[in-house]
Structure 1
Amino acid sequence: MIKKTSLLSAAIASIVLPSFAQESIETVLVVGEREPGNMLLDDEALQRIQAATLEDIFSNQSSVAVGGGSATAQKIYVRGFEDVMLNVTVDGAQSPGELYHHQARVQLEPEFIKRIELDAGAGAATNGAGALTGALRVTLKNAFDMLEDDANVGALVKGTYMANGDNGSKITGSAYGRLSDNTGVIVGFSGEDRKDYADGNGDVVEATPYQHDRSFLKLNSGAGHHSFDFTLENVADSATTYERPNLTNYAGRFQLSDQELNRNTVSINYGFDPSSEAVDLHITAYTNDSDFKVQRQNADVIYGEGDFGSIGFDVRNSTSVGSQNITYGIDYRADNLTSAQNATPPFAWGTTEQSASVTGVYVQDNWAATPQLNIAAGIRYDSYSLEGDSGVSDGVDISDSGISPNLSAAFEVTDSLELRVAYAQAFRGVTIREAFFSGLYLHDGTLESEKADNIELGIAYEKNNMFARATLYEQNIENFIDVEYTGGDVWGYWRNVGDAKVEGYEFEAGYNFDNITATLGVWDADNTLNGEPLSDRNMGLGTTIGRTWLGALEFSGSQSLQYGVNVRFVESEKNSVVEGAPDKESYSVVKAYGNWSPVSSLTVSLTVNNLLNEFYYDHATYTYLGAPSNTYVGYPAMGREVVASLAYRF
């Protein structure tokens, strides 16, 4: 087996022109190609597979893994690193805060999504401040995405039934209309009621039910050179779990708890494009507020609760100068946290109020140097500030600033073959971390800012009906910040615990027939902290995931009939969570789906998740614990689930 570090170093040394970072999203969309790991998913793809959870959304995406078990606890891992280091936006609104490390951070409603874009790894200056492992951008639908032909109004109602365990149901609806030739409005709602699910052995897994209620409103308008979007989104999730929703009651002392999570996001986007090479202006302003509460059912004391609020803006302009397109701007975000925890012995119960801000300026240049050579280069400067206003963080005052450069080059060897090499750095100053832990762990004045670098080598081939793409990468994160238990008079401190690293590769290939599309891919990421493999205990950083193979076969019998199958095979992986822990076992997951539209207004869908009813623990799920339990403490994945839906468009 070729050692990946040696191969990467040799390959980069052989490139005369080194490079930095990902292309900006605007360039990627024009080119229409995405490297493996740089994902682009649209509404049509999400509807085909009847995506309902994060696990559904990313189930067949290269370099992305999502933990199993209840949707309440599902976390996203990109190249093995957890999403807390990923810059996540919804219609331009940043969602930076983590609330509770046992709970999912990113909450999305697939029915509302128009497009999801992922740029993996530290990259372009336009990715935003602190994007150590990349950027995930979500764009919600507007009225004109839904209106048919010249219709002025419309509506969609969809009912879904999930047959597994104690079953579940979901209803989704939206109404949309044209207020004028260039102005539209859409409102949508979604309510999902999921009972306890059953694993691959047919056993019902207790403490896994949840209720998801989501709604959104989006107003969009355009007149002349101006465009305007206003988005309001609400997420309200509740569940009955143990106080740690990603862990079973393995110790026999965990209490059933009521879990609540809410997110309210408001974003305003304004664009001005007067068909001038000098001006293409885009302004985003937003507020984002998330809160959580964990309440034991048998006690009056709140186990943990917190509110994480953000407000910010991004002002950018693009200017074309000859063969160059230069994007430059300024962004700002202010965060506020109030939280409390009573999960520990009473001496360590604590509260906190914190405020933080980050101001950044950036420039990103995309230059078509020759018909065959494209160069992208950029840099951003960010200034961070964190203050503790009360509680365990009272008196904390930390500030720092740093730069994040990037450079990349893509060379078209032939009309069908392209080579790409890239390098980028990302800087993240000390800012508000997890809400729950912030009411428990103290600052001792020793924290340093985190710094990441990412180097990639890519190759892409596309000719006639065939394509193949591959990426080799290596990323380092210095001064990773985590909590450190010390005991004694205080529970512990926030500390720089070391340097994290990932080495990996991604490959995918496919062929398009007249009405059949076949794809095959594989990815592998070896993640370490201070030279030791990551384990499930590295919450907030990442975990080890076995080499993953992805296959898909899709048929389009006619415009009214589509069906297909996805296969995901994960190889076994050594589990370093404790000494003597068993390997994370390999598993295969098969998904089959079909969509039939007998008339244009009606769609009948049937999906079977985990078709072979395999019993397994997803590698992105907390699984095993040592003494005294020496057992699996995480939740097994859901067994076979039949999902049937009926959608009617008025």
Structure 2
Amino acid sequence: MSGLLKTTIRPNENSELKLGWNGTSDGWNEVGGGTLVNDVDLEANTFTARYNITDEDKSWLDLHVNASYNKTNMEMTSLVPQNRFDPVTGLPIVLPAGSMSTFDVGTSGIDIWNTSRFETAGIAHELTYGGDWVGDDVETGGAAGGASFYTPSGKRSVSGAYIQDKLTWDWLEIIAGLRYDSYKLESDVGETSGDRLSPRITVGVSPFETASLAGLQFYGTYAEGYRSPSLSETLISGNHPAGVSFPFLPNPDLKPETGKTVEFGINYKRDDILEAGDAFRFKAAYFNNDVEDYIADVTLSAFDPTSGCPFGPGIPICVQYQNFAKAKINGFEMEGVYDAGWGYAGLSASIIDGHTISYDGERAELLTIPSSQVTAQLGLRFLEDKLTVGGEVQYNGKPKGNPIADDYTLVNVFASYQASDNFKIDFRADNLFDVKYANPLNITTSGQPPEPVFAAYEPGVTLKLAATMRFGG
């Protein structure tokens, strides 16, 4: 059972408060070998609040405050005796029926920013400044394995502060910013922390004034980013609980990732091309992202005396998250849309490739790369634009470095009807032809010796129906 509540409160004409709740209480049985093996109970609640205040007479004021809290609790109880491996010794054990595993996580977050608009010497400024914070508090326990093993108990705090100025003068646009990030991880295994200052600059030029080319902009961006290691990446430890036994090694010395991205592209917009009121929008970009100290899981051999992997009762390997010297990710993205009012058509494409480079200079294809995609979309509007119907075809090409992914094509259809100003119905059918496919990012390992497999396949035909009603004008 699940529920959703949303409400909007407008204290005055310049401010708005949106409150929301999304909750789930569900239970199911897991099946293995045709037998019910686990009973799972899940409760999850998410609370959100978004506040905005702005005033046209006060150009310095455009304040946003977003806050959220999520609480997830999962309990898994074994229904039959199950063969497992002791997480400390790695020796085979039998979990009796009724053994329980628990997973309890609370995530809090807040994001505050304001934009001030003003001019200096004929240059328009949009100065945005703010800060954000996210905290995770994870508690796991029990002996049945599953989420309580792969997500170790601990706390993570990630915070940041930033300032950015968008300067516009005639045909020139410049966006310059700085962001400060910091993080801290704590658990019984150990703790780690770090911080960094990351710059960003974008320069855009619109050099043409003729009607056909006035909407053409060329731009280039250089930006740096910072990603702290997660609790699982840093603190996971113990022996693999099922299937085969091998140790997971914690790595409290795991460094955060630092990304340096260069992007070049064009934006183009033009109205009234074929008929009055139509519009065409197009954008394309090439990007190259160099990630230093890239984090990925590594299989270590117990036969290598320098690996730190001990011999144990299971297979002679260990798994540990480690830093690579670099990961290089590059790609091309494009999107174009033509809208004639009575209908619209769109075409988009993305091609992504990547590889890692070890500290010894060894190159390896990057497994965690999304599919390259080409998507075509067509929509038509009827009944004075109240009814919209359409469909899309999406081709997904397997990543070069993924050994088990396949190409696949999805067909989706959708419709929406705006019955009145206050009532709207939306319908969508995804994967209309029930294609069996897996997201390449869900790749994992299983078996002895470990082989790449998909952790899960995506849903087949999926139907979605939503109704939106607005009260109070």
- In the superposition, the TM-score normalised over structure 1's length comes to 0.54
Alignment partner for residue 260 of structure 1, among 39, 42, 61?
42
Q: Which residues of 2 match residues 392-407 of structure 1 at below 5 A?
A: 393=189, 396-407=190-201
User: SS where residue 374 of structure 2 aligns?
Assistant: strand
Structure 2 gaps, min length 5: 81-96, 209-213, 240-247, 272-278, 300-308, 358-362
Q: Which residues of 2 match residues 243-258 of structure 1 at below 5 A?
A: 255-258=37-40
Q: Which residues of 2 match residues 441-452 of structure 1 at below 5 A?
A: 443-452=250-259
Q: Which residues of 2 match residues 130-149 of structure 1 at below 5 A?
A: none
CA distance in 2, matches of 1:600, 1:521: 31
2:287 maps to what in 1?
473
CA distance in 1, matches of 2:427, 2:67: 40
2:130 maps to what in 1?
329
1:175 maps to what in 2?
none
Structure 1 gaps, min length 5: 1-210, 244-248, 536-541
1:611 maps to what in 2?
432
CA distance in 1, matches of 2:416, 2:112: 40
1:420 maps to what in 2?
219
Alignment partner for residue 413 of structure 2, among 592, 598, 605?
592
CA distance in 2, matches of 1:350, 1:613: 31
Structure number with greater Rg is 2
2:353 maps to what in 1?
526
Q: Is the 8 A contact 1:527 1:544 kept in 2?
A: no
Q: Which residues of 2 match residues 429-468 of structure 1 at below 5 A?
A: 429-430=228-229, 432-433=231-232, 437=236, 443-464=250-271, 465-468=279-282
- Show CA shifts across 1:356-411 (max 9, x none): 3344332101001x2111100000122322332x3xx2xx2322221111000111
Q: Does 2:118 match 1:320?
A: yes
Q: Of Structure 1 and Structure 2, which has the larger fraction of its residues in helix?
A: 1
Q: 1:614 to 1:232 in 2, by over 3 A?
A: closer
Q: 1:616 to 1:329 in 2, by over 3 A?
A: closer
Q: Does 2:293 match 1:511?
A: no
Relative contact order higher in (CA < 8 Å, ≥ 6 apart):
1
Q: Is the 8 A contact 1:623 1:635 kept in 2?
A: no
2:387 maps to what in 1?
561
1:84 maps to what in 2?
none
RMSD of the TM alignment (CA)? 4.1
> Which range is displaced more, 480-489 or 215-224?
480-489
Amino acid at match of 1:532: A
Q: Which residues of 2 match residues 188-203 of structure 1 at below 5 A?
A: none
Q: 1:609 to 1:479 in 2, by over 3 A?
A: same
Q: 1:426 to 1:641 in 2, by over 3 A?
A: closer
Q: 1:377 to 1:352 in 2, by over 3 A?
A: same
Q: Is the 8 A contact 2:333 2:349 kept in 1?
A: yes
Q: Is the 8 A contact 1:305 1:436 kept in 2?
A: no
- 1:626 Cα deviation (Å)? 7.4
CA distance in 1, matches of 2:17, 2:420: 32
User: SS where residue 295 of structure 2 aligns?
Assistant: strand
Q: 1:258 to 1:575 in 2, by over 3 A?
A: farther
Q: Is the 8 A contact 1:242 1:255 kept in 2?
A: yes
CA distance in 2, matches of 1:506, 1:551: 14
2:99 maps to what in 1?
301
Identity rate, percent: 20
- 1:563 Cα deviation (Å)? 1.4
- 1:456 Cα deviation (Å)? 0.9
- 1:309 Cα deviation (Å)? 3.0
Q: Does 2:57 match 1:275?
A: yes
- Show CA shifts across 1:99-134 (max 9, x none): xxxxxxxxxxxxxxxxxxxxxxxxxxxxxxxxxxxx
- 1:558 Cα deviation (Å)? 2.2
CA distance in 2, matches of 1:492, 1:505: 33
- Show CA shifts across 1:216-244 (max 9, x none): 3434233365x25252423325353649x
CA distance in 2, matches of 1:638, 1:349: 26
Number of residue pairs aligned between Structure 1 and Structure 2: 412
- In the superposition, the TM-score normalised over structure 2's length comes to 0.72
